Amino acid sequence: MPTVLALETSCDETAVAVVRDRHVLSNVVSSQITIHQQYGGVVPEVASRQHLETMNWAIAQALQDSGLQWSGIDGVAATCAPGLVGALLVGLTAAKTLAMVHQKPFLGMHHLEGHIYASYLSEPDLQPPFLCLLVSGGHTSLIYVKDCGQYETLGATRDDAAGEAFDKVARLMQLGYPGGPVIDRLAQDGNPNAFALPEGQISLPGGGYHPYDSSFSGLKTAMLRLVQTLQKDTNVLPVADLSASFQAAVAKALTKRAIACALDYGLSTITIGGGVAANSGLRQHLQQAAAAKNLRVLFPPLKFCTDNAAMIACAAADHLSRGHVSLLTLGVQSRMELSDVMQLYGDVTQLYGDRP
């Protein structure tokens, strides 16, 4: 496969990586978590300005770590959708500039496709079809991966994403931002059966419930009422038990739907992508349930669960090997369905003539 340098700036990580043959040659990630913690969440304008300040250093460092010169790079890619518009523009503009200066093909990438490809980085022999459970701060989806650029969303959240629910519940218990890591840490010392919490279900018009769609707003409301009740009775919240119970409820709901979906569609492999893929409760529940059904579950290494450019470069290399490239007039989109990913590309000869 081609060697690709990719940029990822969809939210609050400035990331640049070089990937060849699904092997990471360099992976630079500059996180903005400490900057946004004081605000309790990501501030788009602040994130964009921080990307501007960090981008040149990240590009230089990634190229240096790879041990390559520009002559060894076959293409340049950047996330163009979905994400924060200002943040996306920083990465996309930088990538286009690099592509023009060094006369390399340019590829605009879909952020969620990158999360799907994170599993390829640890399992380079992985081949479709398989099911991907994508769980992050902004997305919770069950995706049927048919081939490069060919995806069908079989299930999704109807309200909060799983990662968003973690952040909101953590804020409710005054645990700070981001919520996922701190809840996971506290849950290790808590009782997951301490509090009975509801499983969010989506009713169907003809009766019954949707087998793959999820909902976390009811669980979030249940946690709010539980915390309010406990605060009336005691001055100290049992945060460990609350964290463990909440985490178990989310993990069980996601596991139930992922297993059912894989079995119904005859898919023997489930991959996990997104920041919530790092959650220990989800990993434990899903691995145990999958083993009981003879299903294979692949979790990417923790460093590839959260936003990074290596996963973007991996996806871009696959597209480039198939002749998929993007116009330099491509813009950014805050929202874009994964099923529309091929709209980002055209035929390499039409866009770039005979130049490789």
pLDDT, tens only, 230-263 = 998 887 899 999 999 999 999 999 999 999 999 9
Q: In CATH, which of 3.40.50.300, 3.40.800.10, 3.40.1010.10, 3.30.420.40 is domain 128-303? A: 3.30.420.40
Average pLDDT over residues 317-337: 95
The ranges of the chain annotated as CATH 3.30.420.40 are 3-117+306-352, 128-303
Instruction: Determine the pLDDT at residue 33.
Output: 75
Pairs from 87-90 (Cβ < 8 Å, separation ≥ 24)? 87/9, 87/10, 87/11, 87/12, 87/44, 87/47, 87/48, 87/51, 88/9, 88/10, 88/332, 88/334, 89/48, 89/332, 90/9, 90/48, 90/51, 90/52, 90/55
Instruction: Determine the pLDDT at residue 103.
Output: 96
Torsions phi, psi for 44 (to 5 deg): -55, -45
Instruction: Determine the pLDDT at residue 40.
Output: 82
Rounded Cα gap, residues 198 and 116, in angstroms: 29
Torsion-angle region of residue 353: left (phi > 0), alpha (psi -120 to 50) or beta?
left
User: Is pLDDT above 90 for 170?
Assistant: yes
Q: Could you give the percent of the chain with pLDDT greater than 70?
A: 97
Q: Which fold, 3-117+306-352?
A: Nucleotidyltransferase; domain 5 (3.30.420)
Average pLDDT over residues 206-216: 91
Average pLDDT over residues 21-46: 87
Average pLDDT over residues 144-152: 97
Rounded Cα gap, residues 7 and 74, in angstroms: 14
User: Is pLDDT above 80 for 348?
Assistant: no
